[in-house]
Structure 1
Amino acid sequence: MKGLTLPASPPSFVHRKERILAQLAVPEQEYTDASPKGSVDVGIRELIDEINGVEGFVTTSSCAGRVSVFREGRRKGTGVGAGAGAGVGDGEEGLEQGNGDRDGVAEGEGEGRKLAGVGGKGGGGNWLFVSHDPVPLEGDGEPERDLETLLGLKGIRETENQEVGDGQGDGALRDVTATRLVHLKFEPMILHVLTASPEHAQLLLRCGLQAGFRESGAVSLTAPAGEQHATPMVAIRSMGLSFESLIGHQSGDGGDKIHCTVSSAYLRTLIRIGNERFVENTKRIERFRAALAEATKPSNKNEEAWEDAESRRRRKREEGLRRREMLEKSKCDDAKVIDVEDEVLDIPLDVNLT
């Protein structure tokens, strides 16, 4: 690594990395993972390959960034148990290289086992729409689009005359616990990277913070019981680009109609904001990619390594002493030459030199 020496990867890390890379090496048409998309995002595949190609690092989950519409799970109803429900894997056997730790489970996955909690997880929560790229709109070289259909809002629009809670016509939900809310979200890139040591984790965190992923962090900084080496998990992420808006709801009584509570113009505004943030997200990914490449570039033997202030002062002092010694030695040599020249000049002119 450029400018510093990182410890060797412990055998436990090497073994785990081999298992993860074996999963990623499966042909694309056969590959699947625990993410909703089921595969690695195209927009981040090269970055993942570059990270995994460096000793001491391996990705366990990732998402290039996305705009999505998410319908919460059922939070109240009959015939829904209170079991724990099945979770996803830990980044190895349950690899999630496609979409990181985003919330929600597939439709029906949690039904009969788990009610949705605050935020809508479990209970059949699902994505109505997901895009890992900007969504083209009219004026971008595209014809006008029916956004409500595109975003999965195939229901009816909320109106002032429609009863929602007590029939007062103010559009307020009187019992949110019996309602499945619908969210539109933009989420920037997120990476989870298993590292071989705290030193590896520190290097990766520094690259992420420099690139603008300011909410990056690390866990498992100390070795677990029974193991000699810590292998921290680093999350590269930024909440600054994220946003979320409620755009509709669905009755919790089993009805399948989604009530869109915002106008088409507002939906277009949200999509345009998301498209702008995709651009900034891409810039930060490229900055992170460049910073990591520079930090992990093999050292040039002819390139001076970084040194702290005290080391620099000591080196400069030693160099100064060497220069003074050389100067004094040079003066002595010059003096000898002068003596020789004087001797030559003192030779009598009548001496026959032939």
Structure 2
Amino acid sequence: MDEFGRRKEQRLRPGADRSRAGGVDPAIRGLVDRLNRSERYCSTSSCSGRAILLAGSDQTEGHKQNRSWLFVTHQKCQKEDVLAGLQKAEDNAVFKFEPFVLHVQCRRMEDAQLLHSVAINSGFRNSGITVGKKGKIMMAVRSTHCLEVPLCHQGRVLVSDEYIDYLVQVANQKMEENQKRIERFYTGLQSALTTPVPPEQLDENVSTAASGYTRRRRQRAAKKERGNGELAAHSDGESDLSFLMGTT
């Protein structure tokens, strides 16, 4: 058994999943199982998408250990659930929608390119490939239609019930779009595993995604320089996971 096979066997061993959920979300279990049945791929982490009310003394990325979940669902949410969660908040609270994400270790670069092509064509345009120092190839399936809005500060709710109702509607619309993209990705994956995309098309998709990522980074930098500091509900921009050759 090669190194990839050993890592896959260890990763998929019963009891190896140490995530909070303890297993793959039901909504994407069929997709992940199909992926892992292929000798080319091994899933390492995933989330089907969720609406979450997150509490903590510090909401920065560097202090995740100080956070707690006041409410979370992998389906459409209800205004009443968010309000009930806010009643538990003793400090800060942020309402978020986080779309489907999937991290996959790939046997070869060609396999990663194939999965990347499927992801891009399914609407997951923030997807990317990284290569570690020891040659470990990782593919991340990601999209950009996120939502993150502060609702509570130092125990005081900052917005009206009407605004929370509006946020819930926005999050549920994003959840619907999220599900459509997952379905497209699953269909594309099944097709790709039986009829691989020609190498020249893979190269074209990767090149297009990489150039698009660079363009968006420049646009965000220019916007930041103009000092656009609006405080409003907004979709998250692309994360810093780029299509590149780097370390993991």
Flag whether TM exceeds 0.5 (same fold): yes
- 35, 38, 53: which one aligns with 2:22: 38
Q: Percent identity?
A: 34
Instruction: Note the alpha carbon deviations across 1:284-324, whole angstroms, 9 max, x for none.
Output: 0011111111111168xxxxx9698xxxxxxxxxxxxxxxx
1:194 Cα shift?
0.5
Q: Letter of the aligned partner of 2:140 in structure 1?
A: A
Q: 1:248 to 1:193 in 2, by over 3 A?
A: same
| Alignment-derived partner of residue 140 in structure 2 | 235
Contact 1:216–1:234 (Cα < 8 Å) also in 2: yes
| Alignment-derived partner of residue 14 in structure 1 | 5
Distance 1:307 1:152 in 2: 51
| Alignment-derived partner of residue 133 in structure 1 | 75
Instruction: Note the alpha carbon deviations across 1:182-202, whole angstroms, 9 max, x for none.
Output: 110001000000100111111
| Alignment-derived partner of residue 154 in structure 1 | 88
Give ranges in structure 2 of 5+ residues lacking alignment. Answer: 201-248
1:212 Cα shift?
0.5
Contact 2:40–2:111 (Cα < 8 Å) also in 1: yes
1:261 Cα shift?
1.2
Contact 1:148–1:154 (Cα < 8 Å) also in 2: no
Contact 2:17–2:23 (Cα < 8 Å) also in 1: yes
SS in 2 for 1:247: strand
Structure 1 runs (4+) greater than 4 angstroms displaced: 305-308
Distance 2:89 2:72 in 1: 18
SS in 1 for 2:125: coil
Distance 2:7 2:81 in 1: 46
Contact 1:182–1:247 (Cα < 8 Å) also in 2: yes
Alignment of 1:248 onto 2:152: yes
Q: Letter of the aligned partner of 1:274 in structure 2?
A: A
SS in 1 for 2:66: coil
Deviates more, 1:290-299 or 1:208-217: 290-299
Contact 2:122–2:181 (Cα < 8 Å) also in 1: yes
Q: Letter of the aligned partner of 1:14 in structure 2?
A: G
| Alignment-derived partner of residue 129 in structure 2 | 218
SS in 1 for 2:143: coil
Distance 1:147 1:40 in 2: 24
Alignment of 1:204 onto 2:115: yes
Give ranges in structure 1 of 5+ residues lacking alignment. Answer: 1-9, 24-30, 76-115, 138-144, 157-179, 225-229, 251-257, 300-304, 309-354
| Alignment-derived partner of residue 177 in structure 1 | none
- Report the RMSD for the aligned CA atoms in angstroms: 2.6
Distance 2:143 2:10 in 1: 28
- Select the structure with the greater relative contact order (CA < 8 A; seq sep ≥ 6): 2
- 188, 191, 195: which one aligns with 2:99: 188
Q: 1:296 to 1:184 in 2, by over 3 A?
A: same
1:266 Cα shift?
0.9
SS in 1 for 2:72: strand
- Point out the structure with the larger helix share: 2
Within a 5 Å distance, the mapping from 1:50-65 to structure 2 comes to 50-65=34-49
Q: 1:147 to 1:21 in 2, by over 3 A?
A: closer
Distance 1:298 1:205 in 2: 15
Distance 2:65 2:191 in 1: 45
| Alignment-derived partner of residue 70 in structure 1 | 54
Distance 1:200 1:181 in 2: 43
* Count of aligned pairs: 200
- Point out the structure with the larger strand share: 2
Distance 2:40 2:110 in 1: 10
- Kindly name which structure, 1 or 2, has the bigger radius of gyration based on alpha carbons: 1
